[in-house]
Structure formats: structure tokens, C-alpha cells
Structure 1
Amino acid sequence: MAWEVLSIIGTVAFAVSGAFIAMEEKYDIFGVYILGIITAFGGGAVRNLLIGVPVSALWEQEMMFQIALLAITAVFLFPNNLLRHWTRWGNLFDAVGLAAFAIQGAIYAVELNLPLPAVIVAAVLTGSGGGMIRDVLAGRKPLVLRSEVYAVWAALAGLLIGLEVIRTDTGLLLLFAFITVLRILSYMLKWRLPFRQITTQT
């Protein structure tokens, strides 16, 4: 049950996130649907490539594609006064998508009996891969590659699931809430990872 719930939550959250950013960049309706779909399913596609699962497995998720299309359509039809609050709601949807898909990716890797490093990588790629592709297509610097704490939370989810610290559906849903809150806090409180900047002299 947790798998299905998290899949639906992640799909809706990232589809909405992609659609919002497409409209922010003034894409036409076709671009809005493309960016929304890529954001929702891009991470899973990259994960499947890395762990040896045929990418064609994505096309078996007919219901998820329908859910994503409905979510994108709803966003496209939102009144303008609601769309103005994208900055506030966009980070929430992004946090929800990150948490849901990170956990889903980790569960997927565990079910394939992959080692712990692969579980963590699957969590990170599933949780942040779609967002990375979205940002690149929108001409933005990928959020996951900045100093802002983002993919670390996906890795934490993969670690806890890979070590079998959390096994029950209730535990997975609590982990989802925990990762979502951590991501929101890291954004609101401006938590940063260490980084170095090279300045060139002219």
C-alpha cells in the first residue's frame, strides 16, 4: 500500500512542479505537458538505466501517466491569482516529490535485492533525477547540484530503508513525512552544504 500511495503522491507532486516551472518560463501548453511528464518520470527512467531495469517498464504505469496528465491539466487551468503563489507552493510540491520518490526508489532497489550503495543511489536518482532534468530543460541551474541541502535527504531515506531500519507501511509513511519536513526546513532556514568557489583573476 505504501508503495502505491507514495507513487501517486510523487507523481502528482513532480508533475505539478514541472508544469509550474514550464509556465513560469512561458512555455506553451505542449511544453507544459512535456516538462510535467519528464519531471514526474525522468528520475525513474534514469534509475532503471543505472540498475539494469528496462526503461520500457515505465510504459507499464498507465494509471500513473493518467494521474500526471490530470494533475498537469488542473494546474494549467488554475486561475492566475493562484499561480502567483507558485514560489511558496512550488517548494512544497518539490519537497513532497523528493521524499515520495526517494522512498519509492529505495523500495524498488531493495525488492531487487541490490546492495546498500545501489539502494542509496536509486533513492537519490528517483528522488532528484526528474527535478534535475526539469531544471536543465528550463535553462536553470539544477537545484540538486547547488550548495542547498536537497539530495542528502533522498540519500538518508535510501540509507534507512537499505539498512532495514524501517520495514512497515506506517514506518515508510512516517519517513515520508520526516524527509518532507527536513527538505522544507532546509529551504526555509537556508541550510547549506560546504562549498568552495574558484575566482579567476583577469
Structure 2
Amino acid sequence: MSWEVFSLIGTIAFTVSGAYVAMEEEYDILGVFVLGLVTAFGGGVIRNLLIGVDVTMLWQQGLYLKTAVLATIIIFILPIGWIRRWKNFEVILDAVGLSAFAIQGALYATERQLPLSAVIVAAMLTGIGGGIIRDVLAGRKPLVLREEIYAVWAIMAGAVIHFGWMTTPVQLYALFVLVIILRMMSVYYGWKLPRRSLHEPQRHIETK
């Protein structure tokens, strides 16, 4: 039941996120549906490929596909004024989708008794894969590769679930909220991973 709930939450959050980005980029209705659906399901498809699950499993997820289509229709027909107000919630939607899908992916891999590395990869790719595809199709630099700490929280969720530190439904929902809070704190405080830029000015050594 927990797996299904997190799948549903993640599907709605990422579908709305993808549809919003598509409308922000002025895509037509087909583009809105495409971006919404690939954001919701792209990470899961990549995960399945890497952990050896038949990709055609996607077509057996009728409830989630219908949910994604319905969410896309709703966001598309809402008044523009309402949608514009949602700009402030874009990061929150992304955080909710990240948390829900990271936990869902970790549970999915754990049920198959996969090793720690596979559970972490499943959590990370399920959590960030759809967002990366969304940003690439929208012509943007992927959020996960350039902004505040993002994928680390998915990795953390995967490790927590693999080691059995949080297993009951209540604990999983607490982990869900914790990942969202940590993601929002990284946005608010600007937490970033170390990085180096080749565009930094070089220091010239003066010779006499």
C-alpha cells in the first residue's frame, strides 16, 4: 500500500511539474501531454532498464497513466492566472515528486532483494530521471546538475530504506516529509555540492 501511495503522489507531482514547464515554454497541448507524461514515468523506465525489469511493465500501470492524463488535462484547462500563481509552488512540486519517487524506487528495488548499490541507483533515478528528461526536452540545463543539493536526498532515502531504518508505513511517511524538508532547506539556504568552473579567472604569475 505504501508503494502505491508514493507512486500516486509522485505521478501527480511530476506530471503537474512537467505540464507547467511545457506551458511555460509555450508548447502546444501535445507537448504539454508529452512533457507531463515523460516527467512522471521517465525515471521509472530508466530505473527498470538498469535493474532488469521488463520495460513493458509501464503499460500495466493503468491507474497511474490515467491519473497522469487527468492531472495534465486539469492543469491545461485551469485559468492562466491560477497557473501563474503556481510558479511559487514549482520547487515544492519538484520536492514532493523527488521524495515520493525516490522512496517508491527504493521500495521497488528492496522488494527484489537487490544490493545497496542497486537500491540507491533505483531511488536516485526514479527520483530525478523524469526531471532530467523534462529539462532536456524543454531546452533547459537539468535542475539536478546545477542547482541546490537535489539527488543526494534521493540517495539518502534509498540507503535508509535498504538498511531497514524506516520500514513501517508511518516511518516511510515520516521519511517522505523529511526528504521534502531537506530539499526545501537546501533551496532556502542555498546548500550546494562542491564544484569547480573552467570559467574562473586564472591567476597570472608575474615574471621580472
Q: Assess same fold via TM > 0.5.
A: yes
The code of the aligned residue for 1:188 comes to Y
Moved segments of 4+, more than 3 Å: none
Equivalent position of 1:63 in the other structure: 63
Q: Which has the larger radius of gyration?
A: 2
> Please, which moves more after superposition, 75-84 or 132-141?
75-84
Kindly indicate whether residue 16 of structure 2 is the aligned counterpart of residue 16 of structure 1. Answer: yes
Runs of 5+ in structure 2 lacking a partner? Answer: 202-208
Q: Report deviation, 1:6.
A: 0.6
Kindly indicate whether residue 90 of structure 2 is the aligned counterpart of residue 90 of structure 1. Answer: yes
Q: Is the 8 A contact 1:44 1:105 kept in 2?
A: yes
Partner of 1:85, secondary structure, is: helix
Query: In the aligned structure 1, how far is the partner of 2:8 from the partner of 2:199?
Result: 44
Equivalent position of 1:169 in the other structure: 169
Aligned residues, how many?
202
> Please, which moves more after superposition, 183-192 or 69-78?
183-192
> Please, which moves more after superposition, 86-95 or 40-49?
86-95
Please, what is the CA RMSD of the aligned residues?
1.3
Q: Is the 8 A contact 1:147 1:194 kept in 2?
A: no
1:40-79: per-residue Cα shift (whole Å, max 9, x none)? 0000000000001111011100110000011111111111
Equivalent position of 1:39 in the other structure: 39
Percent of aligned pairs sharing the same letter: 56
Query: In the aligned structure 1, how far is the partner of 2:67 from the partner of 2:98?
Result: 18
Q: Is the 8 A contact 1:147 1:195 kept in 2?
A: no
Q: Report deviation, 1:132.
A: 0.3
Q: Report deviation, 1:83.
A: 1.4
Equivalent position of 1:7 in the other structure: 7
Q: Report deviation, 1:86.
A: 3.2
Q: Report deviation, 1:188.
A: 1.8
Q: Report deviation, 1:37.
A: 0.3
> Please, which moves more after superposition, 112-121 or 79-88?
79-88
Runs of 5+ in structure 1 lacking a partner? Answer: none
